[in-house]
Homo-oligomer: A and B are copies of this chain.
Amino acid sequence: MRCSARTIPPQLLAGERITIPARTFDSVAVIGLGAIGGSLAWGARRYGVPRVVGYTPDRGEAEAAQRAGAVSALAATAEEAANETELVVLAAPPRPTLDLIRSLAPRLPAGVLLSDVASVKSRVVAQAIAAGLEERFAGAHPLAGTHHSGFAAAAPDLLRSCVVYVCATGERGRAAACRVADFWAGVFAATPVFIDPAEHDRLLAWTSHLPQAVAYVLATALAARRIPVQSLGPGARDTTRLAASSPTLWVDIFLDNRDEILSALAAVGSQLHMLRDLIDRRDEAGLRALLSSAATFRREVER
């Protein structure tokens, strides 16, 4: 599925990079003004969306977003925000996102598209279909973020140039998915990657939810042992960084993507068992093989 790329002559596709002004929207509503929602609104305003209406139930965050100029107007309710815009983006954890799809769908004006930014996509996309939005919904998940939360962690460039997964509801949702991809490419210079929702959740269980879980596990072990944080070097700080993220958000993600995460955690459990066994048996060759496979994998990142 290619959208922003449609107007590029084929011979350029694999070659030089050219900037194509992707179609975007004249008005966008953002529901939730935390780190991601706040950055989405702010970036949209800064990079060419004339009208950005924001809504958050958190009064302090609403005021901070307005003071920063991240929104052109604040709405009193999510419905009101959705009423006068062409694209509504839900920027909330998975569970409130599901609730919002359910409550907004019946009142969504004709022609308005709905999207979201949640880290888990199967249930969100299923909910949109169940709510009758098959042709008007596309899920998105920008691979950007921070372990800080709330509007205080938002920045107009946080989502700039990120990879964004886009999940269509199916064949009937293709046009909506293309418009959402165009929005991300056009406003944020993002790289949209189309992916099936179930495949997204399986992949993200490994690439995002698992590292998050591992950081929590390490941090709780250090906390339980009462290790003074001052004694952590740069390595320990990096390895535990994700543990500073919002517990509310991550309880939601872990439960929403439960089965995939459990299977990824089981794999980590096996590797941990293997490492302990090799150290216990002083198996130098086995240990070297395990560490080398890890090093080979991780060094690829820096190529």
Contacts and interface: CB of A to CB of B under 8 A. Distances in A.
Contact of A268 (B247, B270, B272): B272
Interface of A: 143-145, 147, 163, 203, 206-208, 210-225, 227, 229, 231-248, 250-251, 254-255, 258, 261-262, 264-276, 279-280, 282, 284, 287-288, 290-302
Contacts of A297: 219-220, 222-223, 229, 240, 243
A223 B293 contact: yes
A244 B302 contact: yes
Q: How many copies of the chain does the oligomer comprise? A: 2
B298 A247 contact: no
Contacts of A275: 213, 216-217, 220, 265
B238 A242 contact: yes
A184 B155 CA distance: 40
A270 B276 CA distance: 13
A264 B279 CA distance: 12
B231 A203 contact: yes
A244 B295 contact: yes
A275 B221 CA distance: 11
Contact of A301 (B232, B264, B282, B300): B232
B203 A243 contact: no
A50 to B, nearest CB: 31
Query: What 4 pairs across the A-B complex have the smallest Cβ distances?
Result: A223-B297, A219-B294, A247-B291, A211-B239
B217 A210 contact: no
A294 B227 CA distance: 12
